[in-house]
Amino acid sequence: MDLTMAAANPENTPQNNRAIMAFLRHHAPFSSMDDSHLAHFAEHATLSFYADGDVVLSPDDGMVQRFYVVKQGLIRGERLNKETGQVEPTFEICPGECFPLAALVGERPTRTLHRSAGDTFCLSIDHDAFVTLFSESDPFRDFCLRGVSSLLDQVNKRIQSNAMASIGSSNSLDTPLDRFALRNPIVCTPDLPVRKAVAKMHENDVGSIIITDDSRQPKGIFTLRDLRTMVAEEKAPLNTPISQLMTPNPKSLPTTADAFEAAMLMAEHHFAHLVVVDEENRLAGVVSQSDLFSLQRVDLVNLARTIGTAPNLQALVSFRTDVSRLVDTMLAHGADSGQVVKIITTLNDITVRRVIELNLRQNDPGIPFTWLTFGSEGRQEQTLLTDQDNGILFETPEGMTPDDVREKLLPFARKLNDELAECGFTLCKGNIMASNPKLCLSEEEWDDWFQRFIESSTPQNIVYSSIFLDMRSIFGPEEPLKRLLNRVLERIRKNALFQKMLAANAFERKPPLTMFNNFRYLNDEKKHSLDLKRQGLAPFVEAVRVFALANGVEQANTLERMEELAKIGFFDAKDANAWQEAYSLIQAIRMRAHQEMLQNGEELTNYIDPDDLNPLDRRILRESFRQAQRLQQKLEVTYQL
């Protein structure tokens, strides 16, 4: 069969085949396939009907002979649990989705009973037609071999290209020069000997010096390149006045010009430095090539160092935009969502540390303490939208009571909380902050606190478990926290009731899917919005926390907890992998939404309308939520909920 033939005359394609092709085009992987391949599918398609509960495909049918696409209705997979003897639902297949991929590619019977749920129509093609498509269509083959994860690649690619677009959209290059952190230029008078001018450049670690007159008008520029030429060509002795060696009347741009003009001018004249002047032609600053390009390639190490050595709060606040730009860059360079949240967390940690250091310099309360962080920051899962959840673990000095210590520490903590808020870490509405006397405790007090927390198991405590049981230290000695954490884990490991209550609480957080596998929206008021954090990520975070705490896993990070649970054999490696992938995807979609909100100047929220997503993202989101359901099933079985 020559597939190009069928595509050559689309008018000759029967209406019904055209309709099938149009249907397929709405769904991946068909949406990326050539028309000739879709035509081949339609020509060889068979349409069958299954009433509610009919078996569509069974392990007893022998080697799988056909490839199916659900046209309408729903197919449910069932597997027998050998331990319980019960039939468990494994997956659901919705319109536009196909089955059974693994069995067909593996040329074996299916391991899952496929049953229709409600009136269902399926299109199918026989093995020969499948093989033809498999061998001729790259997207189809890719999908069959790699299943949903090949779709994940597509999503990641798109996230990358979106981020690329936002960088390339020159929202950096059309920045006016006066909005740059223009470096205060190093200047000198025309009569200064070259030797002294170079010494001045060396002291300030810059590559250029501007020669100005008394009214600060730029008269010339002298750069390291000029020095090189001067020495190599033995033009003049080092005590020559600089006015004789400078480049006179340097090219300059007004502060209102933008970065793009500056870059063009530099490229044109091979300048590495450009003088920026105000309306009265007075020197306003110097912009260098590396200044311009650092706009586009924010370097993590450099940014971290800059934040970590920021001289004051104002500087720290101004670096927050760099963090956002960095997230764009990271996404554009293909970092996955797990890496990006960790980078954000790292930079946040550095910011917090710097805020603490700057305050200690001004006003050290003189008491050794560990700065604790809880919740998403504790799990190292922060995105751009983040609020403060922190506390203090202090050492009580000889001769003082914990209350004495608190008297000294609380005002200090209050200032830290406020300054962190200025840096973009929203104040915690629930007052889970170090300035709260209940969360500024000694090691013994924290230990008591956790003991009560675990033993009393009140509903309120269970709710707070998502915050306090994910903790980490980011400043100060780590040993006290380590000791505390070990005792907490030990108590939880021994307390089956607490575990069960945690599990029951985690089980309450249902992924936002209805029985019919549609998205379950927040409420009537927000008819079409899903809360990606509460409805999407939380079911994973909560369930994984229960398993991690019950199995003595020390990590607070959800992905790391899953990794560890697989390592100790509590999770099946494949399951752990699928859950990590699903979790990362929801996170990626959430981060992309945040980047978009930021670009549109909107307030950051975790709400999205699935209708705004393209069909591929919608499907992946649904697939990810289904994985959350499977994880919850494990919770249900383990704790007999």
Partner 1 sequence: MFDYIKQWLAERRGTTLGNHDTDNLPEPKTAGDQPLSKCRLIVLDLETTGLNPQKDEVIAIGAVAIEANAIHLNDQFDLILRRPELDIRETVLIHGIGTEALADGHETEDALLHLLEWMNGDPILAYHSAFDQRFLEKTLKAELGYTTPHLWMDVAELMPAFFPKADIKGKGLDDWSELFGLEASERHHAAADALVTAELVLVALNQARKTKVNTLKELTDKLHYQRRLQNMKRLQ
Q: Which stretches of the chain bind partner 1, using CB under 8 A?
A: 5, 9, 12, 14-20, 22, 42-51, 54, 72, 119, 121
Q: How far is the CB of 625 from partner 1 (least distance, A)?
A: 24
Q: Which is nearer to partner 1, 42 or 163 (CB)?
A: 42
Q: Is the peptide bond before 100 cis (omega within 30 degrees of 0)?
A: yes
Q: Is the peptide bond before 29 cis (omega within 30 degrees of 0)?
A: yes
Q: Which is nearer to partner 1, 72 or 457 (CB)?
A: 72
Query: Which run of H or of E encompasses 165?
Result: helix 148-168
Q: What DSSP assignment string belongs to 36-71?
A: HHHHHHHHT-EEEEE-TT-EEE-GGG-S--EEEEEE
Q: How far is the CB of 517 from partner 1 (least distance, A)?
A: 15
Q: Which is nearer to partner 1, 19 or 573 (CB)?
A: 19
Q: Which is nearer to partner 1, 52 or 444 (CB)?
A: 52
Determine contact, residues 344/382, Cβ cutoff 8 Å.
yes
Q: How far is the CB of 97 from partner 1 (least distance, A)?
A: 17
Q: Which is nearer to partner 1, 123 or 307 (CB)?
A: 123
Q: How far is the CB of 73 from partner 1 (least distance, A)?
A: 8
Residue ranges of E strands in 257-404: 273-277, 283-288, 369-373, 390-394
- 25: tokens are 């085009």
- 424: tokens are 């973009």
Phi, psi of 567 (to 5 degrees): -65, -40
Q: Which is nearer to partner 1, 15 or 640 (CB)?
A: 15
Q: How far is the CB of 516 from partner 1 (least distance, A)?
A: 12
Gyration radius of the chain's alpha carbons:
31
Determine contact, residues 493/454, Cβ cutoff 8 Å.
no
Q: How far is the CB of 19 from partner 1 (least distance, A)?
A: 3
Q: How far is the CB of 614 from partner 1 (least distance, A)?
A: 23
Q: Which is nearer to partner 1, 12 or 84 (CB)?
A: 12
How many Cα atoms within 13 Å fall on the side-chain side of residue 201? 21
Q: Which is nearer to partner 1, 124 or 584 (CB)?
A: 124
Determine the 3-state secondary structure of 235 from DSSP: coil
Q: How far is the CB of 513 from partner 1 (least distance, A)?
A: 20
Q: How far is the CB of 14 from partner 1 (least distance, A)?
A: 4
Q: What DSSP assignment string belongs to 407-459?
A: HHHHHHHHHHHHHHHHTT-BPPTT--STTSGGGEEEHHHHHHHHHHHHHH--H
Phi, psi of 33 (to 5 degrees): -95, 155
Considering only CA atoms, which of 208, 201, 191, 193 is closest in space to residue 238? 193
Determine contact, residues 235/148, Cβ cutoff 8 Å.
no
Q: How far is the CB of 92 from partner 1 (least distance, A)?
A: 17
Q: How far is the CB of 50 from partner 1 (least distance, A)?
A: 7
What are the residues whose beta carbons fall under 8 Å from the beta carbon of 467, sequence distance 6 or more?
Answer: 374, 375, 378, 389, 432
Q: Which is nearer to partner 1, 12 or 523 (CB)?
A: 12
Q: Which is nearer to partner 1, 72 or 160 (CB)?
A: 72
- 237: tokens are 């002795």
Q: Which is nearer to partner 1, 48 or 58 (CB)?
A: 48
Strand 120-126 and strand 87-93: pairing? unpaired
Q: How far is the CB of 10 from partner 1 (least distance, A)?
A: 12
- 447: tokens are 């230990």
Q: Which is nearer to partner 1, 46 or 302 (CB)?
A: 46
Crossing angle of helices 558-567 and 538-550, in 10° steps, is 40
End-to-end distance of the chain based on CA atoms, in angstroms? Answer: 56
